[in-house]
Amino acid sequence: MQHLRLYFASAVSLFLLAGCADDLYAHRHVHGAADYDLFYDDYYGPVVDGYWGDDGFFYYRDRLDHPYRRDDGHHMRRDPVSGYHSFHVHHEGH
């Protein structure tokens, strides 16, 4: 019986941890509202929300009900580059 309890507790723990994997960037959210001016090449299509993370990457959402994604391809920049246009985004924070 003790082994069954241990197995059940382990299974529940793994299930709870798996739920965290979908929101990998939740811990980097900016608290409070912020406005960002940046340069974007439209690679990801429309962007409705975003913020600069502590790690120097831009985190964005294409819809408010979608999770944040990190711009690993550097399609959003702080400096002007040929092929990029100025872009403004407002982040409400949490």
Note the pLDDT tens digit of each residue in 32-62. Answer: 678 889 999 999 999 999 999 999 999 999 9
> Which comes out higher in pLDDT, residue 18 or 76?
76
Would you give the distance in Å from CA 17 to the centre of its chain?
18
**Domain assignment of residue 4, yes or no:** no
Question: What is the token pair recorded at 23?
Answer: 């929101």
Residue 10 falls inside a structural domain? no
Domain of residue 60 covers 25-91
The more confidently predicted of residues 29 and 65 is 65
Q: Tell me, what's the pLDDT at 31?
A: 60
Residue 5 domain-assigned? no
For residue range 77-88, list pLDDT tens digits in order.
999 999 999 999
Q: How many domains does the chain have?
A: 1
